[in-house]
Amino acid sequence: MMQIYNSLTKKKEVFVPIEEGKARIYTCGPTVYSNAHVGNFSSFLMADLLVRYLKYKGYEVKWIMNITDVGHLTDDNELSDSGEDKLEAASKKENKTVWEIARYYEDLFMNDLKVLKFTPAFKYPRATEHVNEMIEMVKELENKGVVYETSDGVYFDISKFKDYGRLSGNSLEALQAGARVEVNEDKRSAFDFAVWKKLTGKNEAHIMKWESPWGTGFPGWHLECSAMSKKYLGETLDFHTGGEDNKFPHHESEIAQSETANGKKFVNYWMHKSRVVVNNEKMSKSLGNFFTVSDLVNKGFSADSIRFTFLSAHYRSKLNFTEEQLKESQKTIDKFNDFIQEILNTHAADKEAGIAQDIKAAREQFEKGMDDDLNMSVALASLYGLIKTVRKKLESGISKNEKDIVIDFMRSLNSIFEVFDFEPRKFKEFSAEEQKVINELIEKRNRYRAEKNWTEADRVRDELIKMGVNIADKK
């Protein structure tokens, strides 16, 4: 049984799929007006982890991640919908058309997904290609009497949805008392959100536009996810994931629209990735700690180390992202890969060493951790423990069959981590002269070790490593 912390009910719940053996997952994808940063990817990687673990458990997973290429206004998160379209703002700044901006950043995003070894989603639907579905949904909301038209758009009347605020823990009264919202005379409540924007006022020259029963205009940001999730996954989803920042008003509004239009529960399990800070500071361009994937790769960090850093921390704990941590992750990955090489290179013994039981125990512990709201620290501890146990047994030998069992186990875990390397490493060839030098250095090191002169012994070992010689001290 797998338990997931449901952000809506704020407790861990046993996962019961809508359809036996299947899982439908929707993830709010990027708004393609700039480069996605590592904070965005940490949230997408939480979804990747969920998808991969469900597949590991044998579920047939249908995963949808949308591309927001219209309608996300610059101050959508500040509860006003009077801001500028994010794509249009970028278009002016970069002197490209909005369409060029959208495709350019979408391509970069898709490339980053590949670099970070994401499992492919079923589809990455673009908002601009689903405007008809969105218009249909607005019509449905109109039939239900929850939206109203003003001079500049069509708005959802949140007083008509009693659960508005439940996900983010905001009561309507608290919202009204606390927030500064730009006054829009036509709106019944400052918190009513747009499902359709007309080409008037600030939006008069909006470039991406479509015909609708409410005049020419463009869809509201929240509406996109409600319409696209319905089209590809149906009226009720198993999981909906996103960043913590998406809870309000975005997800809150998705729930109001979808549940009113469809008359059904929208999402069974909501998952939110907690925010990432960099060097204990909020990520921002002005602080210079706003990293994209390619920034870090250009600095010499591997994409695997970025991937592993985010996967290995629990998604609900606040992650302080540092370069130090990327280095640590790389060391851990190297350790796993060294272990795999050791297994591959070890000569099989005739007798068995009880490895099958060790693997069984490690697998059970791994799954126990993952089944508990994807608790990666418990899951990884099982792996560290296993490596220690198997290494000890390697000294007196394990059988061919046991070697295979270990490798199979590591392969099955790699269907989740995607950072292990099973390609047998090629050994470097040395000339007779080089061999002589190497042997001398090894003897020298052994002498230092016998004298307990660890500093010198380590220095010699570093010299050997530089030559391409790795030394392991065993019984």
380 is a site residue for Zn ion (CB under 5 A): no
Write b or e for each residue in 292-306: b if 16 or more Cβ atoms lie within 10 A of its Cβ, otherwise e: bbeebbeeebbbbbb
User: With the C-alpha atoms ordered 314, 316, 317, 322, is the resulting torsion angle positive or negative?
Assistant: positive
What is the total count of residues that contact Zn ion (CB under 5 A)? 2
Burial class (CB in 10 A: 0-12, 13-18, 19+), 21: exposed
In the complex, what is the shortest distance from the CB of residue 254 to Zn ion, in angstroms, rounded to a whole number?
A: 6
Cβ closest to Zn ion, residue 258 vs residue 309: 258
In the complex, what is the shortest distance from the CB of residue 240 to Zn ion, in angstroms, rounded to a whole number?
A: 8
In degrees and rounded to multiples of 5, residue 23 shows phi and psi of: -140, 135
In the complex, what is the shortest distance from the CB of residue 15 to Zn ion, in angstroms, rounded to a whole number?
A: 21
4 is a site residue for Zn ion (CB under 5 A): no
Return the range that interacts with Zn ion (CB under 5 A); candidates 222-230, 371-379, 420-428, 467-475: 222-230
In degrees and rounded to multiples of 5, residue 104 shows phi and psi of: -60, -50
In the complex, what is the shortest distance from the CB of residue 153 to Zn ion, in angstroms, rounded to a whole number?
A: 19
73 is a site residue for Zn ion (CB under 5 A): no
98 is a site residue for Zn ion (CB under 5 A): no
Q: Residue 445 and residue 457: Cα distance in Å, rounded?
A: 5
Cβ closest to Zn ion, residue 244 vs residue 372: 244
Cβ closest to Zn ion, residue 52 vs residue 240: 240
CA atoms within 13 A on the CB side of 430: 13
Longest dimension (CA), the chain: 88
Instruction: Say which residues have a Cβ less than 8 Å from residue 45's Cβ, sequence separation at least 6.
Output: 116, 118, 307, 310, 311
Q: Which of 369, 295, 366 is nearest to 326 (CA)?
A: 295
Return the range that interacts with Zn ion (CB under 5 A); candidates 40-48, 221-229, 348-356, 407-415: 221-229
Q: Are 33 and 105 in contact (CB under 8 A)?
A: yes
Cβ closest to Zn ion, residue 34 vs residue 229: 229
Query: DSSP states of 284-306 as a string?
Result: -TTTT---BHHHHHHTT--HHHH
Return the range that interacts with Zn ion (CB under 5 A); candidates 138-146, 177-185, 220-228, 332-340: 220-228
In the complex, what is the shortest distance from the CB of residue 311 to Zn ion, in angstroms, rounded to a whole number?
A: 23
In the complex, what is the shortest distance from the CB of residue 130 to Zn ion, in angstroms, rounded to a whole number?
A: 13
In the complex, what is the shortest distance from the CB of residue 232 to Zn ion, in angstroms, rounded to a whole number?
A: 13
Cβ closest to Zn ion, residue 265 vs residue 400: 265
Binding mask 12-41 for Zn ion (x = CB under 5 A): ----------------x-------------
In the complex, what is the shortest distance from the CB of residue 250 to Zn ion, in angstroms, rounded to a whole number?
A: 5
Cβ closest to Zn ion, residue 28 vs residue 261: 28
Cβ closest to Zn ion, residue 232 vs residue 366: 232
Cβ closest to Zn ion, residue 225 vs residue 398: 225
In the complex, what is the shortest distance from the CB of residue 249 to Zn ion, in angstroms, rounded to a whole number?
A: 11
CA atoms within 13 A on the CB side of 194: 28
In the complex, what is the shortest distance from the CB of residue 225 to Zn ion, in angstroms, rounded to a whole number?
A: 3
3-state SS, residue 431? coil
In the complex, what is the shortest distance from the CB of residue 242 to Zn ion, in angstroms, rounded to a whole number?
A: 6
Cβ closest to Zn ion, residue 71 vs residue 369: 71
Q: Which of 163, 168, 164, 162 is nearest to 7 (CA)?
A: 168
- Residues facing residue 349 across a β-bridge: 399
Q: Residue 88 and residue 206: Cα distance in Å, rounded?
A: 8
Return the range that interacts with Zn ion (CB under 5 A); candidates 2-10, 224-232, 276-284, 399-407: 224-232
Helix or strand holding residue 326 (H, E): helix 323-345
Q: Are 240 and 271 in contact (CB under 8 A)?
A: yes
Cβ closest to Zn ion, residue 225 vs residue 374: 225
3-state SS, residue 309? helix
Cβ closest to Zn ion, residue 223 vs residue 355: 223
Return the range that interacts with Zn ion (CB under 5 A); candidates 37-45, 218-226, 372-380, 459-467: 218-226
Cβ closest to Zn ion, residue 195 vs residue 225: 225
Burial class (CB in 10 A: 0-12, 13-18, 19+), 26: buried
Q: Phi-psi bin for 192: left (phi > 0), alpha (psi -120 to 50), beta?
A: beta
225 is a site residue for Zn ion (CB under 5 A): yes
In the complex, what is the shortest distance from the CB of residue 184 to Zn ion, in angstroms, rounded to a whole number?
A: 23
Return the range that interacts with Zn ion (CB under 5 A); candidates 129-137, 176-184, 223-231, 418-426: 223-231
Residue with tokens 């060790």: 358
As given in the structure block, the two tokens for residue 121 are 């989603």
List residues near Zn ion by CB under 5 A: 28, 225
